[in-house]
Structure 1
Amino acid sequence: MQTIVQIFKINEQRTGSKEGRAWAMQDAECALLDESGAIQQIGVLQLPKDMQGEKAPKPGVYMGSFSLRAGLRDRRIGAVLAGLTLIPNKAAQRPVGAS
């Protein structure tokens, strides 16, 4: 599954330990765009471990690839970010919030 994602801001990475196990989380403030570049929804996207910290994406427009996984706590199946490919022309063509 793929969709166009505009990342506005990468939030600070949060770390901690629970029951002796270290964890790290980082998310991005972003929007889901349609084919014409219009914003469809705004929300927060959790970044996978291989895209956190120094490897976190920069603000811009990307083609996001998603896979399905069951949550560890509730076992609900949901989409999780699997990859991002920068779309340089989309970022240059359309300013944020333009109609």
Structure 2
Amino acid sequence: MLLMKTAHEQFISERIEPCAGSFAASRMATGEPGLPSVLSWRGDQYEISRVVRQWKESSPCRHGSTERYLRKHWYVVETTDGMMMKIYFERQARSKSQTRLRWWLYTVSS
């Protein structure tokens, strides 16, 4: 899927940390990641007030099969202070040492 940026979006591409106990367990029951209601970025906490948009990104198998694999879950969220964040969850960690680093902030706008 093409990821369009508006004129006011700022590219970030940094790891974000979901705050403990803020996961949506109901989403996890359906196989989706537990979207946090509060996340931490650059030492500040942001509370998500609503999900504006969500979609999934898939790609072909990396080993030659014709299967397609779900790679990322994308969300555009609005925080309680009015900031818009485009965030994503990687279904598979980039390496064994980074298994907990799966939530990323792609862009922000106000």
TM-score range, shorter-chain basis? 0.3 to 0.5
More strand by share: 1
Larger fraction in helix: 1
The TM-score with structure 1 as length reference comes to 0.36
Q: Structure 2 length normalisation: TM-score?
A: 0.33
